[in-house]
Amino acid sequence: MDKMRMESVDMTAQNIEKIEALFPNCMTEAKDADGKLKKAINFEMLKQMLSPDVLDGDEAYEFTWVGKKASIVEANRPIYKTLRPCKEESVNWDNTENLYIEGDNLEVLKLLQESYLGKVKMIYIDPPYNTGNDFIYRDDFKQSAADYDEDSGVYDEDGNRMFKNTDTNGRFHSDWCSMIYSRLMLARNLLTDDGVIFVSIDDSEVKNLKNVCDEVFGASNFVAQLVWQNKKGGGNDSTHIAIEHEYILTYAKNITLLGEFYETYSDDYIKRYKEEDDIGRFFWDTFKRKAGKQYYPITCPDGTVLEYDEDGNAISWLRSKARFDSDVAAGEIRIIKIGEKWSVQFKQRIPLGKTPRSIFTTETVIDNQGTTSTGASDVYEHFKKDIFSNPKPVELIRFLLGFGLGENDIVMDFFSGSATTAHAVMQLNAEDGGHRKFIMVQLPESCDEKSEAYKAGYKNICEIGKERIRRAAKKIAEEHPDAQFDGGFRVLKLDDTNMKDVYYAPADYEQNVLDLLESNIKEDRTDLDLLFGCLLEWGLPLSMPYKSENIESCTVHNYNNGDLIACFDDHIPESVITAIAKMQPLRAVFRDSSFADSPAKINVTEIFKRLAPDTSVKVL
């Protein structure tokens, strides 16, 4: 029995907990007066997290490397970029909830910070492994050009963003750590509180990756170091010992919340649970059968009748028929199709005072979930050519998706490569009727002109990824003709801001400056470009339903049924403004050039005050 504390709250300890929640990489340990370890703050790191500049001081405290502070600054530095829609390369543009984003993932992650803050349930990434042959992203870490071998690089069209990090480079591990650190910092912000990230890696950087993840996510949120058997019998890269495995490091945003989703119980434990102890926490478990007289058939949604087992024996159930029907009506039982078989599942309550056991707390070896060869076969099946090297197998990602991912959750992969993750999400949705959404991010890295991909007409990796999603969706639909899954995706491409000559940060703008920028939108930008720029600024998801309509010769854009309504035409008549106001959108946006003069703008404000007082109105 616990004793009463009989003292006031330790505010210092509470403040440390708050800082840990915001900046887990700023936590360390110190000894108290009794010599016991306690949580403490690394104030040098905290100062760096709150500073836009690289601070002076030795980078030698605990796990560090040359460029670490600069990578933190880079992650926090704002950018003047946008995401431009590309309807012609998209599938089912108006209604799909999936995204395919082309561009440097560091910059894309920055742009998604508002729209997807705390909304992504699962992230899977397969970053460059740093074997001495892999190309990694070069970011602006304020290192002089002399620090790099300029002749050994492979570059994209946007400022030499990639280079071959050979093991002869003195900054071999430092460059890789800087690259991954800033991206994981931003990725953590996007995870839901009960979200989880899986990172594939091999022996070359697994130690450093774990150190980085311990700082970014907090060592207490380490879930498991999964071992995936990626080969059978080693390979050409094996020398002294046949290397048949890779790792998948797994971290939670908040590991204390994972228990509600990753429970496994023994049969004996399930027998002991009490339904009256329900505290609103549950998981779906297979509906139990047992020997006895409770024999009855169960009819599945497609008419399939479950009456006999594979041996031809009548199936007996744990609950009575009356209880079964009652639980179905109450939503306590669901019948879903997994693969070719129907599964009957019920809500398993977690007894009050009991702590669920997580499958993630055990050592886990992943075998029989595909290999590198399987991944290559997955791609070959769609293209009939070997156009992508070492892709992850759909089976592996499908396996990872099974760890606590809800039917409506968002999955992200910001090193998406051949888009295996998108393929796996669509496959799972088709199998169980879920509505999971994916966000794929990939730099349009050029294909080697001698490669099979280039010869087949694919100039960069993004072209391969998008085409794979199209072909995979078609095949899945053929294999599951009755399935209702989202096989579309919106293509967005990273580009410079929609505005011309922007020299000021938003906080620096004054009215006299705004007046000078009235016509400061670039000539090549479309209405959709402007609309999606507004979505990013307002922090709205980029995958909601969209439609447009013509009102008195003006194009009116309606995003998610009134979340945002925009019109970017010049000289919009008052009648159109009134029609938009009557729709009572949450937000409305126009161009400055939409109005002839200041009195016209004042009139717009008055119209919205009268017809839609709760609408937030802005101009570009």
161-178 residue pLDDT tens: 555 566 655 566 788 899
Angle between helices 598-611 and 574-582 (to 10 degrees): 30
> What was the pLDDT predicted at 429?
94
pLDDT digits (tens, 9 = 90+) for 404-417: 788 899 999 999 99
Q: Which range, of 143-147, 161-165, 509-513, averages the lowest pLDDT?
A: 143-147
Mean pLDDT of 191-220: 93
Query: pLDDT over 90 for what percent of the chain?
Result: 43
Would you say 183 and 105 are in contact if contact means Cβ atoms under 8 Å apart? Answer: yes
pLDDT digits (tens, 9 = 90+) for 30-56: 877 787 778 889 998 898 888 888 777
pLDDT at position 468 over 90: yes
DSSP string for residues in 358-411? BGGGS--EE-SS--HHHHHHHHHHHHSS--SSSPPPHHHHHHHHTTT--TT-EE
Burial of 62 (0-12, 13-18, 19+ CB in 10 A): exposed
Is pLDDT larger for residue 266 or for residue 28? 28
If DSSP codes are grouped into helix, strand and coil, which group holds residue 489?
strand
> What was the pLDDT predicted at 541?
96
Is pLDDT larger for residue 522 or for residue 339? 522
Between CA 598 and CA 464 the distance in angstroms is 50
Under the banding of pLDDT at 50, 70 and 90, the label for residue 188 is very high
Mean pLDDT of 416-421: 95
Task: Give the sign of the dihedral formed by CA 594, CA 600, CA 606, CA 610.
Answer: negative
Between CA 587 and CA 558 the distance in angstroms is 10
pLDDT at position 183 over 60: yes
pLDDT digits (tens, 9 = 90+) for 538-585: 999 999 999 999 999 999 999 999 999 999 998 899 999 999 999 999
> What was the pLDDT predicted at 530?
95
282-298 per-residue burial string, b: 16 or more CB within 10 A, e: under 16: ebeeebeeeeeebebeb
Q: Which range, of 361-370, 377-386, 426-435, 593-602, averages the lowest pLDDT?
A: 361-370
Distances (CA, A) of 320 to 299, 326, 333, 466: 15, 10, 13, 50
> What was the pLDDT predicted at 139?
63
Under the banding of pLDDT at 50, 70 and 90, the label for residue 92 is very high
pLDDT digits (tens, 9 = 90+) for 110-123: 999 999 999 999 99
If DSSP codes are grouped into helix, strand and coil, which group holds residue 573?
coil
> How, if at all, do strands 282-286 and 298-299 pair?
unpaired
If DSSP codes are grouped into helix, strand and coil, which group holds residue 317?
strand
> How, if at all, do strands 564-567 and 587-590 pair?
parallel
CA 208 to chain centre: 22
Between CA 289 and CA 72 the distance in angstroms is 54
pLDDT at position 146 over 50: no
Task: Output the six-digit token pair for 432.
Answer: 């169980």
> What was the pLDDT predicted at 235?
55
What are 546's strand-pairing partners? 559
